[in-house]
Amino acid sequence: MRRNPSHDRGVHHSADYAAPKRKRHIKTNHVVRLIRPTECSLLVKEMKTIIQPANKDTIRIVAELLRQGKLVAIPTETVYGLGADAKNPDAVKRIFTAKGRPANHPLIVHISDKAALNDWAIEIPELAWKLAEHFWPGPLTMVLKKHPDVPMEVTGGQNTVALRVPSHPVALSVLQAFGGGIAAPSANRFCRISPTRASHVEEELGDKVDMILDGGACQVGLESTIVDLSAAQPTLLRPGQISKSEIEEFLQVKLELPENNKQIHAPGMMEVHYAPITETFLCTQDQVKDILQGDAFQHQHKMGIASYFTKIESDLFAKIITMPNDVDGYAQCLYGTLRALDDAVLDLILIEQPPQTEEWLAVNDRLAKAAKVLTNW
């Protein structure tokens, strides 16, 4: 069972960012001094590196860059997002170009408060208001019927829109300073591993964003749970930290699973996703034992491993990462681990399969997309 009460989830953040006091329901212009575009470009030029620590000044600049139709990367409690003004179709198109993402793969619009839901969606069911009240700000995305003013570029041509209020204080401050919705997919190239640190975004898209706001390491580490409430039957489109059963218990309603859905419209549901470039295999505890005994692979590969159950101290492996025991700790460092193993220039990455209980569903979903199951040796 999860330890945090749901409304506390994601409000913790990395130690390297001092959170501003949370202010809700406040109009943007009253909170932040607007800066002129010329002032902004001068400031941006002065800043040598594209990664900037999140503070009042850089948050204000990012808001201005968004108004100018530019791309910025911002931290959220799940993963870093590649943000653009969701009401500016040209800016939104730039997201697809930067990521190399097909135009029919819709984006999530981030909003500052559930009160803004009516600006983005229509025919909002009671269940959606309940979920928003309970889980926002937090790692839950809801798919609803789109408001006519939402550009088709955001929704990939669909008549639904995905919406969420993130809980990361930097994301919330940027949303309040900007005053509109921010379309933001994970800030990685298409089908690659989502970034959970500012440096990951720089590696992925450093030449394609105008600024990366550094808000430290993402606390959740996996993308948000997505629930589709646009049709009569609520459906779980993507598992995340907020689990299916938690939502079902809260709503007293059963969620359908995507397998039953004919139309797959979430790229996070594709089979290959979040994948390292190095060949990556999921293996059981027994398989790890066999490998350690030298019964497999004949030592011919330069291997790395992310272990879970097995304590490994063997020079059979060029790189060994021991994963945390608890699901939240595991999720938080999963993408960073995959990146570190990928960067180690190995022939092969092994991931020892963690438990396969409901609590681990989101982690196992991402692992299944990052790795092949190890068979036949």
Q: Which among ligand TXA, Mg ion, none contacts residue 198 (Cβ within 5 to 8 A by kind)?
A: none
Contact status: 176 vs ligand TXA (CB under 6 A): no
Residue holding tokens 């309940």?
A: 130
Question: Do residues 360 and 323 lie in contact, with contact meaning Cβ atoms separated by under 8 Å?
Answer: no
Stretch that binds ligand TXA, among 120-128, 198-206, 265-273, 284-292 (CB under 6 A): 265-273
Q: Report the partner that residue 226 touches, choosing among Mg ion, ligand TXA, none (CB closer than 5 to 8 A by kind).
A: ligand TXA
- Dihedral of the alpha carbons of 340, 344, 350, 351, in degrees to the nearest 10: -10
Answer positive or negative: Cα dihedral of 162, 168, 172, 178. negative
Question: Applying CB under 6 A, does 143 fall inside the site for ligand TXA?
Answer: yes
Exactly one of 58, 112, 160, 196 binds ligand TXA (CB under 6 A); that residue is: 160
Buried b (16+ CB within 10 A) or exposed e, 115-147: ebbeebbeebbebbeebbebbbbbbbbbbbbbe
Residue 174 in contact with ligand TXA, rule: CB under 6 A: no
Pick the binder of Mg ion from 112, 141, 167, 186 (CB under 5 A): 186
For residue 318, the SS3 value is strand
End-to-end Cα spacing for the chain: 37
Whether the bond between 195 and the residue before it is cis, its omega within 30 degrees of 0, is: no
Site for Mg ion contains 112 (CB under 5 A): no
CB of 250 to ligand TXA, least distance (A): 19
Nearer to ligand TXA, 208 or 238 (CB): 238
- Closer by beta carbon to ligand TXA, 155 or else 278: 155
Residue 215 Cα distances to 112, 169, 244, 321, angstroms? 17, 9, 29, 25
Which of 51, 63, 65, 79 is close enough to bind ligand TXA by CB under 6 A? 79
- Work out what residue 106 binds among Mg ion, ligand TXA, none; the CB cut-off runs from 5 to 8 Å by kind: ligand TXA
Q: Which residues of the shown chain bind ligand TXA in the complex (CB under 6 A)?
A: 76, 78-79, 81, 105-108, 139, 141, 143, 155, 158, 160-162, 166, 184-186, 223-224, 226, 237-238, 265-268
